[in-house]
Amino acid sequence: MSYHGNGPIVLGIETSCDETAAAVVDAFTEVKSNIIATQHDLHRVYAGVVPEIASREHLQRILPVIRESLTEAGVTLSQLDAIAVTNRPGLIGSLLVGVSAAKALAWSLEIPVIGVDHIVAHLYAGLLDEKPVDFPAIGLVVSGGHSSIFHLQSSIDCELLGKTIDDAVGEAYDKTATILGLGYPGGPALDKLAQQGDDSAHDLPIAQLGRDSLDFSFSGLKTAMLYAVRGQPQKQGNSHVFMRSADDLTPQQIADFAASFQRAAATALLRKLKTALDRYDVSTLLVGGGVSANSRLRNELTELADKRNLDLRLPEMQYCMDNAAMIAGLASEKFKANAFDDWTLTASPRMQPTVTGRIEA
Ligand code: KG4
Ligand code: ZN
């Protein structure tokens, strides 16, 4: 392997959901470029990601996005040491576009390909462009597809401690935003509105799932919001219909619902996180995923870290959402550990925990 002096130059590719992204990360995980083409406009009308549309769009965009990432980084293909790609978990058709592109590029350049777990990579986002952290650490991933807690021995060696048993927290944000008429994906809009609302206006349910469990559940919270906003459905002929909608609420009432939801969601996350921190002796807290951009969650995590004297690594805003810099960054750790893949690398819709819950990043 050539190290170009200080470490590998890695091109990362991310196509697991509805963002086509490519990034170049240098030695010491300094981000040289971070290009993201989102498809939100295409999926908005369906209020969710349509897998077939997503994979077709990735095909159209992947090469221009890779080219742009190299140009912006000022790096040529021949200078790359490895190609990293998200190969799990995600939408299988979308993942396959990235994995095929990565393998073809790596094969033609005669450099290694490195498959990366998208969820574990979210925890690397707070380490990009930053000084290294101490391990072991506790990690919290909060995104549109996942809500998970990990215990990490290193960036690439982690154990899944708990996860959502139904909706992810970002999904609950997006569905609640739709109920409140805020558009899709509504997490950022709901966050903004919540800042003008009274968070004690509504008492919404926070799932416990047993005192020892580190799992989350957000579907009850979402359903409670649905009934609180629209009322109980009434029988009309053979079906049940809602008699109210967000259109019947005043702007202040909508803001109060948003604030109350946000309080419940943050409380649910913080409770389980505190349980994990009580159970494991760590000095570092890693957080990642789209919902780590949330203002209330960021404040509460910062307070918690101050109180417990933890080195909290919250990603910069540009690295909260799906991006390829976190993929290339985590891959450069795998590169240093000689953890390469071969040409049998393929995509999987699921994470790959072993029986002990240990995850290969
Ligand atoms: O990590 P991400 O980009 O994609 C997945 O891997 O799922 O996360 C997207 C999710 C969406 O549900 C979006 O509504 C949510 O992150 N999100 C937020 C905020 N910004 C993005 N949720 C709450 N508050 C925010 N400020
Ligand atoms: Zn993600």
Tens of pLDDT along 98-142? Answer: 999 999 999 999 999 999 999 999 999 999 988 889 999 999 999
Q: Please, what is the average pLDDT of the chain? A: 93
Distance 285 CA to ligand 2 centre (A): 18
Whether ligand 1 lies within 6 angstroms of the CB of 288 is answered as: no
Ligand 1 pocket: which of 321, 323, 351 to mutate (most atoms <8 Å of CB)?
321
Cis peptide before 89 (omega within 30 of 0): yes
Nearest alpha carbon to residue 197 among 245, 248, 263: 263
Ligand 1 pocket: which of 291, 296, 298 to mutate (most atoms <8 Å of CB)?
291
Q: Are 129 and 30 in contact (CB under 8 A)?
A: yes
- Tallying the residues shown for the chain, one arrives at 361
Whether ligand 1 lies within 6 angstroms of the CB of 75 is answered as: no
Q: Alpha-carbon torsion 78, 81, 86, 87, what sign?
A: positive
For residue 145, give the ligand nearest its CA.
1
Q: Calculate helix-pair angle for 169-179, 251-279, nearest 10 degrees.
A: 170
Distance 330 CA to ligand 2 centre (A): 14
* % of residues, the chain, pLDDT over 70: 95
For residue 143, give the ligand nearest its CA.
1
Distance from C-alpha of 127 to C-alpha of 267, rounded to nearest angstrom = 25
Q: Specify the pLDDT at position 6.
A: 63
Residues forming beta bridges with residue 115, ordered by sequence position: 85
Is the pTM higher than 0.75? The answer reads: yes
Distance 325 CA to ligand 1 centre (A): 17
Distance 107 CA to ligand 1 centre (A): 34
Ligand 1 atom 13 nearest Cα = 187
Q: Are 31 and 103 in contact (CB under 8 A)?
A: no
Whether ligand 1 lies within 6 angstroms of the CB of 321 is answered as: yes
- 3-class DSSP string for the chain: CCCCCCCCCEEEEECCCCEEEEEEECHHHCEEEEEEEECHHHHHCCCCCCHHHHHHHHHHHHHHHHHHHHHHHCCCHHHCCEEEEEEECCCHHHHHHHHHHHHHHHHHHCCCEEEEEHHHHHCCHHHCCCCCCCCCEEEEEECCCCEEEEEEEECCEEEEEEEECCCCHHHHHHHHHHHCCCCCCCHHHHHHHHCCCCCCCCCCCCCCCCCCCCCECCHHHHHHHHHHHHCCCEEECCEEECCCCHHHCCHHHHHHHHHHHHHHHHHHHHHHHHHHHHHCCCCEEEEECHHHHCHHHHHHHHHHHHHHCCEEECCCHHHCCCCCHHHHHHHHHHHHCCCCECCCCCCCCCCCECCCCEEEC
Report the range of poorest mean pLDDT among 195-199, 215-219, 229-233.
229-233
Ligand 1 pocket: which of 143, 190, 192 to mutate (most atoms <8 Å of CB)?
143
Distance 288 CA to ligand 2 centre (A): 8
- Closest ligand 1 atom to the C-alpha of 288? 1
Q: Alpha-carbon torsion 341, 136, 159, 165, what sign?
A: negative
Confidence grade of residue 52 (pLDDT, cut at 50, 70, 90): confident
Whether ligand 1 lies within 6 angstroms of the CB of 191 is answered as: yes
- Closest ligand 1 atom to the C-alpha of 177? 14
Confidence grade of residue 3 (pLDDT, cut at 50, 70, 90): very low
Does pLDDT of 341 surpass 70?
Answer: yes
Distance 174 CA to ligand 1 centre (A): 8
Whether ligand 1 lies within 6 angstroms of the CB of 8 is answered as: no
- Closest ligand 1 atom to the C-alpha of 90? 6
Distance 270 CA to ligand 2 centre (A): 20
Q: Specify the pLDDT at position 59.
A: 93
Ligand 1 atom 24 nearest Cα = 294
Does pLDDT of 356 surpass 80?
Answer: no
Question: What average pLDDT does this structure show over 270-288?
Answer: 97
Number of Cβ atoms within 10 Å of the Cβ of 117? 23
Query: Residue 193 burial by CB count (10 A; 0-12/13-18/19+): exposed, middle or buried?
Result: buried
In this structure, the strands spanning 113-117 and 311-313 are: unpaired
- Residues around the ion ligand 2 (C-beta < 5 A): 143, 322
Q: What are phi and psi of 57, to 5 degrees?
A: -65, -40
Location of structure tokens 């050539």: 2
Distance 2 CA to ligand 2 centre (A): 31
**pLDDT single digits (tens) 56-83:** 999 999 999 999 999 999 999 999 999 9
Does pLDDT of 7 surpass 80?
Answer: no
Instruction: Give CA separation, 242 vs 133, 219, 246, in Å.
Output: 51, 19, 11
Whether ligand 1 lies within 6 angstroms of the CB of 174 is answered as: yes
Distance 179 CA to ligand 2 centre (A): 23
Show the tokens assigned to 193.
């509105």
